[in-house]
Amino acid sequence: MSPSSVHTPARPIPAARAAMPVRRRIATYFLGGAGEVPHLIGALTQHGCRVHELSVDIRDGVPESSMVCAVLVAADETEILLDRLRRLPAVASAELA
């Protein structure tokens, strides 16, 4: 048998791997006080994020409150998540902390 007629099995093509989740700290500044916190957390969990740490700062007489959290999110999904938070009516800004 000549070398050109020997059939070598094709190597399997590796399956595309999902993007590895990375830990991100996100700071969100919002209006509306404590009543808005469930909406903010809902936006994170609907996006499939696992919230590891959560800190909320709401002060009487101050119109803007803040929420800082650490989440696991795919690296290529970070900006999408921030945009989703920014689209919430009560959110003044959302950024990496």
Give me the pLDDT at residue 13, please: 62
Q: Where are the domains of the chain?
A: 20-96
Tokens for 12, please give them. 């399997």
The predicted pLDDT at position 65 comes to 97
Check residue 29 and give its pLDDT: 98
Which pLDDT belongs to residue 7?
Answer: 61
Contact criterion met (CB below 8 Å) for 24 and 70: yes
Give the contacts of 1 (CB within 8 A, at least 6 positions apart). Answer: none
CA 44 from centre of chain: 7
What pLDDT was estimated at residue 48? 83
Report residue 66 as tokens.
């803040």
The model's pTM is 0.76
Q: In this predicted model, what pLDDT tens digit does every residue of 3-62 receive, in sequence order?
A: 556 666 666 665 555 678 899 999 999 999 999 999 999 999 888 888 989 999 999 999
- Can you name the CATH fold of 20-96? Alpha-Beta Plaits (3.30.70)
Rounded Cα gap, residues 37 and 65, in angstroms? 10
